Chains A and B, each alone.
Chain A
Amino acid sequence: MKRGDVWLLAVLAVAVVSFKLPDWLSPQDSRGELRAEIYVDRELYRTVEPKGEPREIEIRTARGVNVLRVSEKGVQMIEADCPDKLCIAMGRIDAAGESIVCLPHRVWVKMVGAPPGGDVPDAIVF
């Protein structure tokens, strides 16, 4: 540990906190039902709701094809014909604010809305 290292760690700590701060101060927009918005090349491609029978949705883009599995448990990328398959590695997302990104195909799946189940109170007043 040298003096610069200490400064570096301090800067990184500040960075982590400042990137997390907006989340803590104003939680995710939780209006409406929980849904996954699928964006392709910056434009809303489709919105799906994580409920009902498990199903698979093909996302056809100019750059390639992704397959998104939608179920009550959330959404998950299960196929992609890109080389890195990072979007598949991102696993299943089920809470508002989470994202799956497939950069080679410019696909962005984002969960928005209320928490799943609807049994979470809007607010707790003492």
Chain B
Amino acid sequence: MQSYSDSFGLKRLAVVSVFASVAAVLGIVEAMIPFAVAIPGAKLGLGNIMVLACLYFFRTRDAVTLILLKTMLTSFVFGSFSAFLFSLAGAVCSLAVMGPMLRLGRSWFSLPGISIAGGVAHNAGQLAVAALVLGTTNIFYYFPVLIVSGLATGWLVGLAARRLVDALERSDVLQFMRVSSPVGTAGQAGKGG
């Protein structure tokens, strides 16, 4: 039984790693889109598609692994340590909001709703770190703009995540979740392991 659950864990780790690398690639693709020119600081947050899918199928701690991997990978590509810390602060805030929202149950929040909340939390986290660094809370004047843009981008990202989750549920990529999951069927694996 032990090896059974170990192989399950291994498969899960593999899938989470694939999710993380897809998220990193999405982050790189996103950096090529000159989106920040219109609203500086606003991001599409394409990587959040993978975080949402990960939260949906796996445990919250797997999503933590994902954002750590994703942030490290993109920081290696783009550079500085402070950028790494800023991204991480945003990602952690985002996850802290999206995790509990998803665990509340399917009837409460739609994936676009969760995605919007995560995006706004991401902005809030980054602004909080920026406020600490600059020693002023003045930059929160920018928050309303980011909330409004986060509504649009978060909704789109949520729709994309919805499609991905549906497709993954139809495909047999995550079949092992259903067959051998020690914690139940796919999508309910919230409190497993």
**Which A residues lie at the B interface, using CB under 8 A?**
1-5, 8, 12, 15-16, 19-20, 23, 39, 42, 82-84, 86, 89-91, 97, 99, 101, 103-104, 106, 108, 110
Contacts and interface: CB of A to CB of B under 8 A. Distances in A.
25 contacts: A3-B108, A4-B101, A4-B109, A4-B113, A5-B109, A5-B110, A8-B109, A8-B113, A8-B116, A12-B116, A12-B151, A15-B147, A16-B144, A16-B148, A20-B144, A42-B134, A42-B135, A82-B80, A84-B78, A86-B41, A89-B37, A97-B141, A106-B134, A108-B136, A110-B138
Contact of B110 (A2, A82, A84, A110): A2
B40 A90 contact: yes
Contacts of A86: 36, 40-41
Given A5-B113, A83-B79, A104-B83, A19 B140 contact: yes
Contacts of B117: 8
Interface residues of B, number: 36
B173 interface: no
A90 B145 CA distance: 13
Interface of B: 36-37, 40-41, 78-80, 82-83, 86, 101, 104, 107-110, 112-113, 116-117, 120, 130, 133-136, 138-144, 147-148, 151
A103 B138 contact: no
Contacts of A91: 40
Contacts of B108: 2-4
Contacts of B82: 103-104
Nearest to A99: B139
A90 B40 CA distance: 5
Contacts of B130: 101, 103
Q: List the 3 closest A-B pairs by CB distance, nearest first.
A: A5-B113, A42-B135, A4-B108
B83 A84 contact: yes
A12 B145 CA distance: 11
Contacts of A82: 80
A120 B147 CA distance: 31
A15 B143 CA distance: 9
Contacts of A90: 40
Contacts of A108: 134, 136, 139
Contacts of A8: 109, 113, 116-117
